[in-house]
């Protein structure tokens, strides 16, 4: 009897120490063991940044992308430069915005998106067009009138480097290149010495019906939402606001009680782009009752509160939501945040053990 009491006391002291951040080697060993059973699922709408976070985690584990991947991304990035500029040219016609470089626009439209051969001429045309005031004016209308990748301007600015015969995509280029996910990808990853499993799924509406197949044994869900979605519409339905869709999706996770026992972590992603956008565009375009103005902190807090409210509704009052503002392009930001995420999950798992 006495022995049992001592053991119980030891465990509760150990637990206390972990909770109080007093970590020593023993606790680290326990946490490493617990981490092996941790399965984190990335969920969220299309283009919120799930795969970029997944890529970052692989980069943190491996230190670099493989030669095969680099080769694939070189082709993808160059193809994107053509198709994204073609979207801008077509949008300028639709919006009746005159261009100075009409010959160049006509030339670029002749290239098929499927073209695999890069010609120097393509790079020159894109460079000329990107500097055309008409294309710049059209670019300002993106999100409101038509869709363009969030990273399009980054690649246009870098077109000279991308056009070079010796072009090797850098890590940042690969992280910024967008491809819609149409499958479920699962990998074992390592952060801060802790091995765990991360799962990436497609976020567009047509992909969501596959989500259910990856729900088994999930320890935690990282719900990713794009902060700049407040004036954007869905690619799959131009009448639906991205941020409101994300909130609805988040609500669905709670009301369907899919993850009753899992920790829910919220990534308020694209904070770098949000910092710029909020200076120009008030959040009240999406939430008319918001009165904080074009202020980053106020707007971020307001959005976070919208999600917290959803998470604490209808029987979930005592459920804690763990929010983080993230920039998925920034490796050190994601590494730091993931250390925090794992720590949160492991502490919670440890607490449920005893």
Tell me, residue by residue from 172 to 211, as one string, x for binding to ligand GTP by CB under 6 A and - for no binding. ---xx-x-xx--------------------xxx-------
Does 238 bind ligand GTP (CB under 6 A)? Our answer is no
Report the partner that residue 175 touches, choosing among ligand GTP, Mg ion, none (CB closer than 5 to 8 A by kind). Answer: ligand GTP
Binning the chain into helix, strand and coil, the percentages to the nearest 5 are 55, 10, 35
Q: Which one of residues 34, 38, 51, 55 is an interface residue with Mg ion (CB under 5 A)?
A: 51
Q: Which is nearer to Mg ion, 108 or 221 (CB)?
A: 221
Q: Shortest CA distance to 246 belongs to which of 273, 261, 272, 267?
A: 267
Spatial CB neighbours of 87, under 8 Å, sequence gap ≥ 6? 146, 147, 148
Catalytic residue among 83, 204, 308, 344: 204
Q: Shortest CA distance to 134 belongs to which of 108, 86, 107, 102?
A: 102
Catalytic residue among 47, 104, 143, 173: 47
Query: Is there a catalytic annotation at residue 204?
Result: yes
Tell me, residue by residue from 162 to 181, as one string, x for binding to Mg ion by CB under 5 A and - for no binding. -------------------x
Does 158 bind ligand GTP (CB under 6 A)? Our answer is no
Does 270 bind ligand GTP (CB under 6 A)? Our answer is yes
Q: Which is nearer to ligand GTP, 220 or 246 (CB)?
A: 246
Query: Is there a catalytic annotation at residue 200?
Result: yes
Q: What is the DSSP letter of 232?
A: -
For residue 136, give the H/E element and its range: helix 133-140
Q: How many CA atoms lie within 13 A of 71 on its CB side?
A: 3
Does 327 bind ligand GTP (CB under 6 A)? Our answer is yes
Cα–Cα–Cα angle for 154, 158, 162, rounded to 5 degrees: 120
Query: Is there a catalytic annotation at residue 56?
Result: no
Query: Is there a catalytic annotation at residue 143?
Result: no
Does 242 bind ligand GTP (CB under 6 A)? Our answer is no
Q: Where are the beta strands (DSSP E) in the chain?
A: 39-43, 185-191, 194-200, 220-226, 263-269, 321-325
Token pair of 52 as six digits: 């970029």
Residue with tokens 């509406």: 205
Looking only at residues 35 through 54 of this chain, which bind ligand GTP when binding is defined by CB under 6 A?
44, 46-52
- Binding residues are 47-52, 150-151, 175-181, 200-204, 269-272, 328
Residues binding ligand GTP (CB under 6 A): 44, 46-52, 149-151, 175-176, 178, 180-181, 202-204, 269-270, 272-273, 327-329
């Amino acid at each position: 009897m006495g022995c049992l009491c001592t053991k119980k006391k030891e465990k509760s002291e150990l637990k206390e120490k972990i909770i109080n951040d007093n970590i020593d080697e023993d606790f680290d060993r326990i946490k490493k063991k617990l981490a092996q059973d941790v399965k984190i699922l990335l969920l969220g709408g299309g283009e919120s940044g799930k795969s970029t976070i997944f890529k970052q985690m692989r980069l943190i584990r491996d230190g670099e992308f493989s030669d095969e991947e680099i080769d694939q991304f070189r082709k993808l990035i160059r193809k994107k430069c053509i198709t994204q500029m073609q979207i801008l040219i077509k949008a300028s016609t639709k919006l009746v915005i005159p261009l100075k470089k009409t010959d160049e626009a006509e030339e670029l439209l002749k290239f098929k998106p499927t073209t695999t051969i890069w010609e120097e001429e393509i790079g020159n045309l894109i460079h000329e067009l990107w500097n055309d005031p008409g294309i710049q004016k059209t670019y300002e209308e993106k999100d409101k009138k038509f869709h363009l990748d969030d990273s399009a301007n980054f690649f246009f600015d870098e077109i000279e480097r991308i056009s070079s015969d010796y072009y090797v995509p850098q890590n940042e280029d690969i992280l910024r290149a967008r491809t819609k996910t149409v499958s479920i990808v699962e990998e074992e990853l390592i952060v801060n010495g802790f091995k765990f499993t991360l799962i990436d799924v497609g976020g567009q509406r047509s992909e969501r019906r596959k989500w259910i197949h990856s729900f088994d044994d999930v320890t935690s869900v990282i719900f990713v939402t794009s902060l700049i979605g407040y004036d954007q519409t869905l690619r799959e339905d131009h009448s639906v606001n991205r941020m409101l869709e994300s909130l609805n999706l988040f609500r669905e996770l709670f009301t369907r009680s899919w993850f009753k026992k899992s920790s829910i972590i919220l990534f308020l992603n694209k904070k770098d782009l949000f910092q710029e956008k909020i200076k120009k565009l008030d959040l009240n375009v999406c939430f008319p009752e918001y009165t904080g103005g074009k202020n980053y902190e106020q707007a971020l807090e307001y959005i976070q509160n919208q999600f917290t409210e959803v998470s604490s509704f209808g029987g979930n009052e005592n459920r804690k939501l763990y929010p983080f503002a993230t920039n998925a392009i920034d490796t050190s930001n994601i590494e730091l945040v993931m250390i925090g995420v794992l720590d949160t999950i492991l502490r919670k798992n440890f607490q449920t053990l005893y």
